[in-house]
Protein backbone atom coordinates (compact mmCIF):
# COMPACT_ATOMS: atom_id res chain seq x y z
CA UNK A 1 0.00 0.00 0.00
CA UNK A 2 2.80 2.43 0.93
CA UNK A 3 6.32 2.37 -0.50
CA UNK A 4 8.92 5.00 0.38
CA UNK A 5 12.48 4.61 -0.87
CA UNK A 6 15.18 7.19 -0.24
CA UNK A 7 12.46 9.73 0.56
CA UNK A 8 13.77 13.26 1.06
CA UNK A 9 11.89 16.38 2.10
CA UNK A 10 13.70 19.71 2.28
CA UNK A 11 12.14 22.86 3.66
CA UNK A 12 13.62 26.23 2.77
CA UNK A 13 13.16 29.21 5.08
CA UNK A 14 15.10 32.46 5.13
CA UNK A 15 17.74 30.98 2.84
CA UNK A 16 18.31 27.96 5.11
CA UNK A 17 17.64 24.37 4.03
CA UNK A 18 16.23 21.98 6.61
CA UNK A 19 16.28 18.25 5.79
CA UNK A 20 13.14 16.93 7.48
CA UNK A 21 13.40 13.52 5.77
CA UNK A 22 16.84 12.21 4.85
CA UNK A 23 16.49 9.13 2.66
CA UNK A 24 13.66 7.39 4.52
CA UNK A 25 12.67 3.84 3.54
CA UNK A 26 9.31 2.44 4.59
CA UNK A 27 6.84 -0.17 3.38
CA UNK A 28 3.32 -0.64 4.74
CA UNK A 29 1.06 -3.47 3.61
CA UNK A 30 -2.60 -3.12 2.66
CA UNK A 31 -4.74 -3.18 5.80
CA UNK A 32 -1.80 -2.78 8.18
CA UNK A 33 -1.98 -0.50 11.23
CA UNK A 34 1.37 1.20 11.84
CA UNK A 35 2.29 3.64 14.60
CA UNK A 36 5.06 6.18 13.89
CA UNK A 37 7.01 7.42 16.90
CA UNK A 38 9.97 9.75 17.29
CA UNK A 39 11.23 12.84 19.05
CA UNK A 40 10.11 16.30 18.07
CA UNK A 41 11.78 17.24 14.78
CA UNK A 42 12.47 13.62 13.80
CA UNK A 43 10.38 13.91 10.63
CA UNK A 44 7.30 11.89 11.59
CA UNK A 45 4.76 14.65 10.91
CA UNK A 46 6.54 15.54 7.67
CA UNK A 47 6.15 11.93 6.57
CA UNK A 48 2.42 12.14 7.31
CA UNK A 49 2.10 15.34 5.30
CA UNK A 50 3.89 13.81 2.31
CA UNK A 51 1.77 10.65 2.37
CA UNK A 52 -1.35 12.76 2.84
CA UNK A 53 -0.60 14.82 -0.26
CA UNK A 54 -0.17 18.01 1.76
CA UNK A 55 3.55 18.31 0.95
CA UNK A 56 5.41 17.24 -2.19
CA UNK A 57 8.57 15.11 -1.77
CA UNK A 58 11.87 16.77 -2.64
CA UNK A 59 13.49 13.54 -3.86
CA UNK A 60 13.17 9.78 -3.68
CA UNK A 61 10.12 7.57 -4.11
CA UNK A 62 6.75 7.82 -2.39
CA UNK A 63 3.87 5.68 -3.63
CA UNK A 64 0.47 4.96 -2.14
CA UNK A 65 -1.26 2.23 -4.09
CA UNK A 66 -1.02 3.24 -7.74
CA UNK A 67 -0.39 6.90 -6.92
CA UNK A 68 3.12 8.28 -7.43
CA UNK A 69 3.26 11.22 -5.01
CA UNK A 70 6.35 12.68 -6.70
CA UNK A 71 4.47 13.30 -9.97
CA UNK A 72 1.13 14.74 -8.90
CA UNK A 73 -0.22 17.81 -10.67
CA UNK A 74 -2.27 20.17 -8.48
CA UNK A 75 -5.51 18.67 -9.86
CA UNK A 76 -4.30 15.08 -9.29
CA UNK A 77 -3.08 15.98 -5.82
CA UNK A 78 -6.54 17.32 -4.96
CA UNK A 79 -8.13 14.11 -6.30
CA UNK A 80 -5.68 12.01 -4.29
CA UNK A 81 -6.49 13.83 -1.03
CA UNK A 82 -10.21 13.62 -1.72
CA UNK A 83 -10.44 9.93 -2.68
CA UNK A 84 -7.46 8.04 -1.22
CA UNK A 85 -6.74 9.53 2.21
CA UNK A 86 -8.62 10.50 5.35
CA UNK A 87 -7.11 12.63 8.14
CA UNK A 88 -7.65 12.73 11.89
CA UNK A 89 -5.88 15.64 13.57
CA UNK A 90 -5.03 16.10 17.25
CA UNK A 91 -6.99 19.36 17.37
CA UNK A 92 -10.67 18.44 17.12
CA UNK A 93 -11.38 21.90 15.69
CA UNK A 94 -9.65 20.77 12.48
CA UNK A 95 -11.77 17.62 12.27
CA UNK A 96 -15.33 18.77 12.95
CA UNK A 97 -17.48 21.81 12.23
CA UNK A 98 -18.89 22.90 15.62
CA UNK A 99 -22.27 24.06 14.28
CA UNK A 100 -23.11 20.73 12.60
CA UNK A 101 -24.10 17.52 14.36
CA UNK A 102 -21.76 14.55 14.18
CA UNK A 103 -24.05 12.99 11.55
CA UNK A 104 -24.17 16.21 9.52
CA UNK A 105 -20.36 16.44 9.66
CA UNK A 106 -20.13 13.02 8.02
CA UNK A 107 -22.75 13.87 5.38
CA UNK A 108 -20.84 17.04 4.50
CA UNK A 109 -17.58 15.08 4.23
CA UNK A 110 -19.31 12.64 1.86
CA UNK A 111 -20.38 15.57 -0.30
CA UNK A 112 -16.85 17.02 -0.33
CA UNK A 113 -15.53 13.60 -1.39
CA UNK A 114 -18.10 13.67 -4.21
CA UNK A 115 -20.06 10.78 -2.78
CA UNK A 116 -23.84 10.97 -2.56
CA UNK A 117 -24.62 11.87 1.08
CA UNK A 118 -26.13 8.75 2.61
CA UNK A 119 -27.57 9.00 6.13
CA UNK A 120 -27.68 5.21 6.54
CA UNK A 121 -24.00 4.83 5.62
CA UNK A 122 -23.11 7.75 7.90
CA UNK A 123 -24.92 6.11 10.81
CA UNK A 124 -23.04 2.87 10.14
CA UNK A 125 -19.76 4.76 10.44
CA UNK A 126 -20.85 6.34 13.71
CA UNK A 127 -21.88 2.92 15.01
CA UNK A 128 -18.49 1.49 13.98
CA UNK A 129 -16.68 4.01 16.20
CA UNK A 130 -19.19 3.74 19.05
CA UNK A 131 -20.84 7.12 18.46
CA UNK A 132 -24.29 6.20 17.11
CA UNK A 133 -25.98 7.51 20.25
CA UNK A 134 -24.39 10.93 19.61
CA UNK A 135 -25.55 11.32 16.00
CA UNK A 136 -27.50 14.51 16.73
CA UNK A 137 -24.99 16.01 19.17
CA UNK A 138 -22.97 19.10 18.32
CA UNK A 139 -19.20 18.59 18.77
CA UNK A 140 -18.83 21.16 21.60
CA UNK A 141 -21.30 19.12 23.67
CA UNK A 142 -19.18 15.96 23.29
CA UNK A 143 -16.14 14.99 25.33
CA UNK A 144 -12.68 15.11 23.76
CA UNK A 145 -12.64 11.36 23.23
CA UNK A 146 -16.11 11.42 21.67
CA UNK A 147 -15.03 14.19 19.31
CA UNK A 148 -12.01 12.17 18.20
CA UNK A 149 -14.11 9.07 17.57
CA UNK A 150 -16.54 11.20 15.54
CA UNK A 151 -13.51 12.57 13.67
CA UNK A 152 -12.52 9.02 12.71
CA UNK A 153 -15.99 8.50 11.24
CA UNK A 154 -15.74 11.80 9.32
CA UNK A 155 -12.31 10.81 7.97
CA UNK A 156 -13.86 7.59 6.63
CA UNK A 157 -16.72 9.37 4.87
CA UNK A 158 -14.97 9.28 1.49
CA UNK A 159 -14.10 5.57 1.86
CA UNK A 160 -10.34 6.23 1.89
CA UNK A 161 -7.85 3.39 1.51
CA UNK A 162 -5.40 5.17 3.83
CA UNK A 163 -6.32 6.71 7.19
CA UNK A 164 -3.74 9.11 8.61
CA UNK A 165 -3.89 10.20 12.26
CA UNK A 166 -1.53 12.79 13.74
CA UNK A 167 -1.42 12.49 17.56
CA UNK A 168 -5.12 11.53 17.75
CA UNK A 169 -4.92 10.88 21.51
CA UNK A 170 -2.42 13.59 22.38
CA UNK A 171 -4.86 15.63 24.49
CA UNK A 172 -6.92 12.75 25.94
CA UNK A 173 -6.83 10.89 29.23
CA UNK A 174 -5.97 7.19 29.27
CA UNK A 175 -9.58 5.97 29.29
CA UNK A 176 -10.63 8.18 26.37
CA UNK A 177 -7.47 7.28 24.45
CA UNK A 178 -8.30 3.60 24.90
CA UNK A 179 -11.74 4.08 23.35
CA UNK A 180 -10.23 5.93 20.38
CA UNK A 181 -7.69 3.13 19.86
CA UNK A 182 -10.52 0.59 19.99
CA UNK A 183 -12.27 2.58 17.27
CA UNK A 184 -9.17 2.41 15.07
CA UNK A 185 -8.93 -1.33 15.65
CA UNK A 186 -12.56 -1.88 14.61
CA UNK A 187 -12.06 0.26 11.51
CA UNK A 188 -9.08 -1.83 10.44
CA UNK A 189 -10.87 -5.11 11.08
CA UNK A 190 -14.22 -4.13 9.52
CA UNK A 191 -13.10 -2.06 6.53
CA UNK A 192 -9.53 -3.26 5.90
CA UNK A 193 -8.35 0.36 5.93
CA UNK A 194 -4.61 0.94 6.10
CA UNK A 195 -3.88 3.11 9.16
CA UNK A 196 -0.77 5.21 9.77
CA UNK A 197 -0.73 7.00 13.12
CA UNK A 198 1.80 9.40 14.64
CA UNK A 199 2.01 9.30 18.43
CA UNK A 200 4.44 10.16 21.22
CA UNK A 201 2.75 7.70 23.60
CA UNK A 202 4.36 4.25 23.61
CA UNK A 203 1.31 2.81 25.38
CA UNK A 204 -0.78 3.89 22.40
CA UNK A 205 1.83 2.85 19.83
CA UNK A 206 2.01 -0.71 21.20
CA UNK A 207 -1.63 -1.27 20.25
CA UNK A 208 -0.79 -0.97 16.56
CA UNK A 209 0.31 -3.98 14.51
CA UNK A 210 3.77 -2.46 14.04
CA UNK A 211 5.65 0.47 15.57
CA UNK A 212 8.22 2.38 13.51
CA UNK A 213 10.65 4.74 15.22
CA UNK A 214 11.98 7.63 13.12
CA UNK A 215 15.23 9.33 14.04
CA UNK A 216 16.87 12.20 12.09
CA UNK A 217 14.55 11.79 9.13
CA UNK A 218 15.11 8.04 8.64
CA UNK A 219 13.54 4.85 9.97
CA UNK A 220 15.70 3.68 12.88
CA UNK A 221 13.89 0.73 14.49
CA UNK A 222 10.73 -1.33 14.16
CA UNK A 223 8.71 -3.35 16.66
CA UNK A 224 6.02 -5.88 15.83
CA UNK A 225 3.24 -6.17 18.40
CA UNK A 226 4.47 -8.35 21.24
CA UNK A 227 8.00 -8.62 19.80
CA UNK A 228 11.36 -7.00 20.54
CA UNK A 229 12.51 -3.78 18.90
CA UNK A 230 14.89 -4.35 15.98
CA UNK A 231 17.20 -1.95 14.14
CA UNK A 232 16.20 -1.38 10.50
CA UNK A 233 18.70 -1.71 7.66
CA UNK A 234 17.86 0.73 4.86
CA UNK A 235 18.22 0.14 1.12
CA UNK A 236 21.79 1.51 1.16
CA UNK A 237 22.87 -0.89 3.90
CA UNK A 238 22.87 1.78 6.61
CA UNK A 239 21.54 1.31 10.12
CA UNK A 240 21.00 3.63 13.05
CA UNK A 241 22.40 2.20 16.26
CA UNK A 242 20.73 3.80 19.29
CA UNK A 243 22.94 6.45 20.90
CA UNK A 244 22.85 4.86 24.34
CA UNK A 245 24.30 1.62 22.92
CA UNK A 246 27.11 3.47 21.17
CA UNK A 247 27.95 5.35 24.34
CA UNK A 248 27.83 2.20 26.46
CA UNK A 249 30.20 0.44 24.06
CA UNK A 250 32.51 3.45 23.84
CA UNK A 251 32.03 3.66 20.06
CA UNK A 252 32.99 6.94 18.43
CA UNK A 253 33.05 7.81 14.72
CA UNK A 254 34.73 4.64 13.39
CA UNK A 255 34.01 0.93 13.70
CA UNK A 256 35.38 -2.33 12.32
CA UNK A 257 32.78 -4.53 10.60
CA UNK A 258 33.54 -8.25 10.12
CA UNK A 259 31.70 -11.45 9.25
CA UNK A 260 31.96 -14.27 11.80
CA UNK A 261 30.03 -17.55 11.57
CA UNK A 262 27.31 -15.89 9.53
CA UNK A 263 26.95 -12.91 11.87
CA UNK A 264 28.06 -9.34 11.23
CA UNK A 265 30.19 -8.05 14.12
CA UNK A 266 30.78 -4.37 14.88
CA UNK A 267 33.82 -3.44 16.96
CA UNK A 268 35.01 -0.02 18.08
CA UNK A 269 38.23 1.31 16.58
pLDDT per position as a tens digit, 2-31: 999 999 999 887 888 889 999 999 999 999
Across residues 181-194, what is the average pLDDT?
95
The whole-angstrom separation of Cα 148 and Cα 72 is: 30
Please report the pLDDT score of residue 253 as a whole number. Answer: 64
Please report the pLDDT score of residue 235 as a whole number. Answer: 62
Please report the pLDDT score of residue 197 as a whole number. Answer: 95
pTM, 2 dp: 0.86
User: Does residue 241 register a pLDDT over 90?
Assistant: no
User: Does residue 228 register a pLDDT over 70?
Assistant: no
Residues 200 and 269 in one domain: no
Residues 30 and 131 in one domain: yes
Residues 142 and 153 in one domain: yes
Collapsing DSSP to helix, strand or coil, 40 comes out as: coil
Across residues 235-258, what is the average pLDDT?
68
Q: Give tens-digit pLDDT for 123-145.
A: 999 999 999 999 999 999 999 99
User: Does residue 265 register a pLDDT over 90?
Assistant: no
Residues 154 and 65 in one domain: yes
Residues 233 and 243 in one domain: no
**140: domain CATH number?**
3.40.50.300
Residues 204 and 257 in one domain: no
Count structural domains, the chain. Answer: 2
What 125-129 contacts at long range (C-beta under 8 Å, 24+ apart), as own/partner pairs, is: 125/153, 125/156, 125/157, 126/102, 126/150, 126/153, 128/153, 128/156, 128/183, 128/186, 128/187, 128/190, 128/191, 129/153, 129/183, 129/186, 129/187
Please report the pLDDT score of residue 267 as a whole number. Answer: 76
- For residue 165, what are the domain limits? 2-238
Amino acid sequence: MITCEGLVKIYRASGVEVFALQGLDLQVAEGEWVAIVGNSGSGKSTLMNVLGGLDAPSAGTARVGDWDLTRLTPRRRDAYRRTVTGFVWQNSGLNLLPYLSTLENILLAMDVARRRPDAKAALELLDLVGMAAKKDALPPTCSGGEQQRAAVAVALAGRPRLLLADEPTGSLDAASAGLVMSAFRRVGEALGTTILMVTHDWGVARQAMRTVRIRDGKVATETLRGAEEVVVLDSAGRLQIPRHLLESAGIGSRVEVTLHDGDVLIRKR
